[in-house]
C-alpha cells in the first residue's frame, strides 16, 4: 500500500545564544514555512511537531534579508494555517507515525542541540522510513540522522547514502564553530561521516542545493528549503 499523502515537519525545541549581543538561535522560520507551503500546494495534509511541543524562533531568521514581506505576513498572522499549527505545536506522543508518508526535519543551528537526542522524533522518522515513506532534512536538520535507524541494517538510514547539509565552511564564515564546539556537537559534515554517509557540498555555503538518494532527500541551507521540499514531493510521487 502506498504511503499516506500527509507530511510531518519536525521543529527544533532548542534555543541558545549564537549571534552578536546574545541573540538566540532557534527555529529558522523559512526552513519550516517554505516546506509547509510546498507540501500544502502539492495536496499534502501537514502537521508540525517538536520533541517538547515548544519552540523559539531564530533571531536571524526574522530579519528582512531572510524573511520577505509575503513570508513575514504569514509568519505574523496567528490565524494562518502555518502559524496556528506552530502556535499549537504537537509532541511526539500526539503523533501516530502510520498516518504520515513524509518526514521533514526543518532546522536552525539550535537543531544541533536537541535533534541528536530527540528520541521521540527519531522513532517517528524511523517508523515512517520503515513503512516505505520519505525522510528529508534541510540545513542543520541532518543532526537527527544518527538516531534514525534502519531496523534491517541496525545502522542510520543515511549509511552509504549521498547527503548534503550546512557546510563547515559556512559555520566558519559565520564565526560560530567555537559555539558549536561549546555545545559539544559535531558539524553536519562530521555527522554525515559518522553515519557512513558521503557528504556532498553545494558550490557555495548559501547556494540552493538538494540531493535525493533513494528515499532520503536533503538540502544544504535556508535557501534550499523550498527546492528540498519539492524534491521530497517528487520522491514521494515515485513510491
Instruction: Report, as residue numbers or ranges, the catalytic residues.
Output: 139-140, 171
Which H, E and C letters describe 168-202, residue by residue? HHHHHHCCCHHHHHHCCCCCHHHHHHHCCCEECCC
d(CA 66, CA 54): 22
d(CA 11, CA 50): 5
Distances 162 to 26, 178, 213, 217 between C-alpha atoms, Å: 27, 27, 6, 9
The grid coordinates listed for 48 are 508540525
Which residue has 504569514 as its cell numbers?
74
Amino acid at each position: 500500500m502506498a504511503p499516506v499523502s500527509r507530511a510531518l515537519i519536525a521543529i527544533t525545541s532548542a534555543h541558545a545564544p549564537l549571534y552578536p549581543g546574545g541573540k538566540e538561535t532557534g527555529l529558522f522560520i523559512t526552513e519550516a514555512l517554505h516546506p509547509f507551503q510546498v507540501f500544502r500546494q502539492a495536496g499534502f495534509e501537514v502537521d508540525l511537531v517538536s520533541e517538547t511541543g515548544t519552540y523559539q524562533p531564530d533571531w536571524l531568521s526574522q530579519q528582512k534579508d531572510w524573511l520577505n514581506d509575503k513570508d513575514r505576513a504569514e509568519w505574523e498572522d496567528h490565524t494562518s494555517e502555518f502559524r496556528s499549527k506552530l502556535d499549537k505545536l504537537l509532541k511526539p506522543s500526539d503523533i501516530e507515525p502510520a498516518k504520515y508518508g513524509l518526514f521533514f526535519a526543518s532546522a536552525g543551528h539550535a537543531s544541533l542541540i536537541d535533534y541528536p537526542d530527540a528520541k521521540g522524533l527519531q522513532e517517528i522518522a524511523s517508523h515512517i522510513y520503515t513503512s516505505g515513506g520519505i525522510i528529508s532534512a534541510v540545513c542543520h536538520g541532518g543532526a537527527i540522522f544518527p538516531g534514525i535507524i534502519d531496523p534491517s541494517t541496525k545502522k542510520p538510514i543515511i549509511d552509504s547514502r549521498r547527503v548534503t547539509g550546512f557546510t563547515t565552511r559556512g559555520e566558519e564564515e559565520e564565526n560560530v564553530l567555537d559555539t558549536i564546539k561549546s555545545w559539544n556537537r559535531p558539524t553536519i559534515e562530521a555527522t554525515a561521516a559518522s553515519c557512513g554517509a558521503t557528504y556532498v557540498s553545494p558550490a557555495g555555503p548559501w547556494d540552493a542545493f538538494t540531493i535525493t538518494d533513494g528515499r532520503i532527500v536533503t538540502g544544504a541551507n535556508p535557501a534550499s528549503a523550498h527546492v528540498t521540499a519539492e524534491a521530497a514531493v517528487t520522491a514521494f510521487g515515485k513510491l
